[in-house]
């Protein structure tokens, strides 16, 4: 009688746990001077929990690719912050009967505008990280299932 090896189920819960661990780490790092110091213990606890649960599951290590999605979220956030940051030297004028106009070094600007040229490279990098993380996850899952 031949027993066929059954592929193990994908550790979706571990993948999400690693993604949350990474998001907590990104928040702790990017907000280190404000809220990050309070998020850091949570990020460390999530990291310890993630490692323990992944270690207990023999096919769980591909789930670490969830950290890539967290990195991508950090890149998107950074791109958005850079794209919405206005110029340093801004001067606005207007009154109750005159619309407000803003200039930076004599050039008229819209203070609520989004500088997409600054954001697009960060968004593209985030998309590349997501793609590589997902491809790495799928490839590692296949490899783990072949070995098991």
Mean pLDDT per 10-residue section of the chain, whose length is 148 residues: 49 88 94 92 96 88 91 94 74 76 72 80 96 92 79
- The structure's pTM equals 0.74
Distances from the Cα of 120 to the Cαs of 24, 85, 105, 127, in angstroms? 24, 14, 25, 10
What is the per-residue pLDDT across 55-68, written as a single tens digit (0 to 9) for each? Answer: 998 788 889 999 99
For residue 45, what pLDDT is reported? 97
To the nearest 10°, report the CA torsion of 66, 49, 145, 139: 20
User: Can you read off the two tokens belonging to residue 113?
Assistant: 């505008």
The answer to whether 12 touches 66, Cβ cutoff 8 Å, is no
């Amino acid at each position: 009688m031949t027993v066929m090896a059954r592929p193990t189920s994908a550790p979706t819960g571990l993948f999400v746990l690693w993604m949350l661990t990474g998001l907590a780490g990104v928040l702790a790092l990017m907000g280190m001077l404000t809220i990050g110091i309070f998020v850091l213990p949570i990020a460390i606890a999530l990291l310890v929990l993630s490692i323990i649960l992944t270690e207990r599951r023999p096919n769980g290590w591909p789930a670490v690719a969830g950290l890539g999605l967290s990195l991508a979220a950090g890149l998107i956030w950074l791109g958005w912050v850079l794209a919405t940051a206005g110029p340093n030297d801004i001067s606005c004028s207007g009154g109750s009967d005159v619309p407000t106009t803003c200039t930076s070094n004599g050039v008229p600007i819209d203070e609520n505008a989004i500088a997409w040229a600054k954001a697009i490279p960060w968004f593209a990098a985030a998309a590349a990280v997501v793609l590589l993380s997902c491809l790495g996850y799928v490839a590692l899952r296949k490899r783990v299932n072949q070995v098991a």
